[in-house]
Amino acid sequence: MSLTRDLTRLIREKPVTDSDLKWASLFVLDTLGCALGALPTAPARMLKAVAPPERADTARKAFYLGGLSHILEMDDLHRDSVTHPGSVVIPAAWAVAHDQDLGGEAFLKAVLAGYEACCRIGNSVGKKHYRVWHNTSTCGPFGSAMAVAELIGLDDDKTVWALGNAGTQSSGLWEFLAEGAMSKHLHTARAAESGVLASFLAREGFTGAENILEGDKGFYAGLCPDPIPEAVTAGSERPWQLINTSIKPWPCCRHTHPAIDGAIALHHEIAGEPIARVLVGAYRAALDVCDRPSPEDPYSAKFSLQHTVAIALADGRVDQASFDSDARQRMVGERQKVDVDLAPGIEAAYPESWGAEIQVETVSGRRLSASRHDAKGDPDNPVTAAELTEKAHTQLVAGGCSGARADALISAILGLTDNRPVRALNLFEDTGDARPQVRAARSA
């Protein structure tokens, strides 16, 4: 019995409650808010030029929405697997459910299944995988393929083929960060598209490797120096992985969030007093990705512990404007005061907990400190449904919606639990600017 077959069985035997569907609708709202909020950005315009949603086929629609979802760095994050499942699974599931005019219940169940596959395989890759490979991009195709398999009714054999061909498309290297390139949006776009293609091919009888994970020349052998294969099926009785996924309150790399949370708290204690020195203690993965003392563009600043901590200490908040040229210039001197280092206790708790320690010394000699065991938005330190809805509303308005239209779209997305048709959301119309529209939902 292969791991992909065991995983398929585990997912299909897992019960789904009304509460699970409600959770899924909230994560759909978060992901679509992130995607539509990114519409005015340059990467969004480029994605639309290649994959205009009003004319694209199903796979390319998933590509477009998957790319959009990751642009603002506000999409969800599963701690244990270090993946952003929503930006891959939800675009693939939406594209298929939209084009096949499926109801909200089937769509939300597919989202739960897709998160489960993506996150469980992500749990198994080991810590060293992340040093070179972007887990969302490598594990994401398994999640999008699983979601689509559920929507189009693949049997177990064909689902295993789909997962095999999803795995052989796994890719996504961190090298883009060195140049501040846009490749990260391509990672989620392709991961969403790859899963659609894999499942559509499986429906036609196109076979894939059953032992794609554990085989001698499979996923673990090629990409994972320290895999944990048993993690794929461990704890089958636990809640859906989606429920253990975190919501991001700040528009930057999740690895910076524990430090941001602590720095914002210290901002109020410092009360404007000049800072002499800051020390940030973090876990190894955060240092590998976010030790960037001199970011030269907005995207690099979003991956800089030095910048995010400096501006959180200075302003007491972090938002999209915190990364523009004026903010980066204003923080040049403050960033130079921030040193980052490995904190053994924080490292030992990762990835189950994403924490940080901050020590600040002021010019007058005062010493202040803050520590965070879990980042804001994690299951152990959650945002509320009201906070999530407010986040989505803010992003939708920033993306071009009127306040009334944003409210209508939020209501329609949360109404998917009543089995409203996914097509009624009508996210993209051929209006020239691809701004979101909402049609009145017809009864299912």
Q: In the chain, which segments carry CATH 1.10.4100.10?
A: 3-244
pLDDT in tens, 197-251: 999 999 999 999 999 999 999 999 999 999 999 999 999 999 999 999 999 999 9
The contacts of residue 299 (CB under 8 Å, 6+ apart) are 180, 182, 323
Cβ atoms of residues 24 and 116 within 8 Å: no
Distance, CA of 85 to CA of 248 (rounded, Å): 13
Measured torsion, CA atoms of residues 50, 54, 60, 64, in degrees rounded to the nearest 10: 70
Distance, CA of 148 to CA of 89 (rounded, Å): 9
pLDDT (0 to 100) of residue 429: 55
Q: In the chain, which segments carry CATH 3.30.1330.120?
A: 254-372
- Check residues 376 and 91 and name the one with the higher pLDDT: 91
Cβ atoms of residues 259 and 280 within 8 Å: yes
Distance, CA of 213 to CA of 209 (rounded, Å): 9
Question: What would the mean pLDDT of 266-290 be, rounded to a whole number?
Answer: 95
| One-letter identity of residue 104 | G
For 81, the token pair is 């697997």
What is the overall mean pLDDT for the chain?
Answer: 94
For 220, the token pair is 């673990």
Cβ atoms of residues 46 and 181 within 8 Å: no
User: Per-residue confidence at 435, pLDDT binned at 50, 70, 90?
Assistant: very low
For 303, the token pair is 């991956």
β-sheet with 367-372: strand ranges across: 338-342, 275-282, 356-362, 367-372
Question: What would the mean pLDDT of 96-110 be, rounded to a whole number?
Answer: 98
217 phi and psi angles, rounded to 5 deg:
-125, 35
User: Per-residue confidence at 443, pLDDT binned at 50, 70, 90?
Assistant: very low
Distance, CA of 279 to CA of 229 (rounded, Å): 37
Question: What would the mean pLDDT of 74-83 be, rounded to a whole number?
Answer: 95
For 261, the token pair is 């949370």
pLDDT (0 to 100) of residue 352: 85
pLDDT in tens, 322-373: 999 999 999 999 999 999 999 999 999 998 899 999 999 999 999 999 999 9
Gyration radius from the chain CA atoms: 21
pLDDT in tens, 307-318: 999 999 999 999
Q: Considering all CA atoms of the chain, what is the largest pairwise distance in Å, rounded to the nearest integer? A: 72
Least confident interval from 116-130, 319-333, 395-409, 418-432:
418-432
Q: Which fold has domain 254-372?
A: 60s Ribosomal Protein L30; Chain: A; (3.30.1330)
Residue of 136, 246, 112 whose CA lies nearest to 194: 136
Question: What's the pTM?
Answer: 0.88
**pLDDT reading at 319 higher than 50:** yes
| Partner residues linked to 83 by β-bridges | 78
Cα 31 to Cα 47, 54, 353: the distances in Å are: 17, 20, 23
Please report where in the chains the tokens 């308005």 appear, as a residue.
397
Distance, CA of 88 to CA of 139 (rounded, Å): 10
Using CA of residue 209, residue 214, residue 220, residue 221, what is the dihedral sign?
negative
> Is residue 351 reached through a cis peptide bond, with omega within 30 degrees of 0 on the bond before it?
yes
pLDDT in tens, 138-192: 999 999 999 999 999 999 999 999 999 999 999 999 999 888 899 999 999 999 9
**Residue 95, SS3?**
helix
77 phi and psi angles, rounded to 5 deg:
-145, 125
User: Per-residue confidence at 427, pLDDT binned at 50, 70, 90?
Assistant: confident
Distance, CA of 277 to CA of 293 (rounded, Å): 14
Question: What would the mean pLDDT of 32-51 be, rounded to a whole number?
Answer: 97
Question: What would the mean pLDDT of 109-117 be, rounded to a whole number?
Answer: 98
- Check residues 23 and 299 and name the one with the higher pLDDT: 23
Q: Phi-psi bin for 224: left (phi > 0), alpha (psi -120 to 50), beta?
A: beta
User: Per-residue confidence at 441, pLDDT binned at 50, 70, 90?
Assistant: very low
**Residue 352, SS3?**
coil
Cβ atoms of residues 168 and 208 within 8 Å: yes
CATH for 3-244, options being 1.10.4100.10, 3.40.50.1000, 1.10.10.10, 3.40.50.2300: 1.10.4100.10
**Residue 349, SS3?**
helix
Percent of the chain with pLDDT over 70: 96
**pLDDT reading at 442 higher than 50:** no
**pLDDT reading at 431 higher than 50:** no
pLDDT (0 to 100) of residue 438: 40
Cα 207 to Cα 46, 88, 93, 161, 361: the distances in Å are: 34, 23, 21, 5, 61
The contacts of residue 116 (CB under 8 Å, 6+ apart) are 10, 11, 14, 143, 146, 240, 241, 242
234 phi and psi angles, rounded to 5 deg:
-65, 140
* 206 burial level (CB within 10 Å; 0-12, 13-18, 19+): middle
What angle do helix axes 135-152 and 156-167 make, rounded to 10 degrees? 160
